[in-house]
Amino acid sequence: MNRRKGFTLIELLTVIAITAILLTIIILPIFQSFNLTRAAMAFSDAQDKARVLIERVQREINNGVNVRDNSGLNGSLALRVPSSPLGVYGAPVIVTVPYVKLDIVRPAEGEPDPGNPG
């Protein structure tokens, strides 16, 4: 009796199962590294936004002649923060910091006029 040479169904299923297990072992760390990279990029973006926010507040304070402490008034400070990385997905979000109030007085411009008190 001539038997044809080939693989049985059990052998093929075994090879497919082993291949699937090996691919899972190889691919899972790759996906995890993508997630770690995405998280690192989000953290870096958050740090950049914080730096920009601090620079804006410092610039506004530096442009003022006098900043008065109004801690007794229980005010709040509204800050406009981008809603997404690079601000591409939508309008900025207004974040309100409670119990804070800054009075920023801009410096006088030009020559003082003694005849004009206002």
Tens-digit pLDDT profile for the chain (118 aa)? 567 788 899 999 999 999 999 999 999 999 999 989 998 898 888 888 888 888 888 777 777 655 555 555 566 677 777 666 555 566 777 777 766 666 666 666 766 666 655 5
pLDDT for 93 equals 75
Q: What is the pLDDT of residue 8?
A: 92
Tokens (6 digits) for 11:
């052998």
User: From CA 65, how far away is CA 115, in angstroms rounded?
Assistant: 23
Q: What's the Rg (C-alpha) of the chain? A: 32
Domain assignment of residue 17, yes or no: yes
Q: Is 1 part of a structural domain of the chain?
A: no
This model's pTM is above 0.85: no
Task: Tell me how many domains the chain contains.
Answer: 1
Q: Which residues pair with 78 in a beta bridge?
A: 96
Residue 97 forms part of a structural domain: yes
What's the domain range around 53?
A: 9-105
In a domain, 114, yes or no: no
CA 106/CA 64 separation, integer angstroms: 4
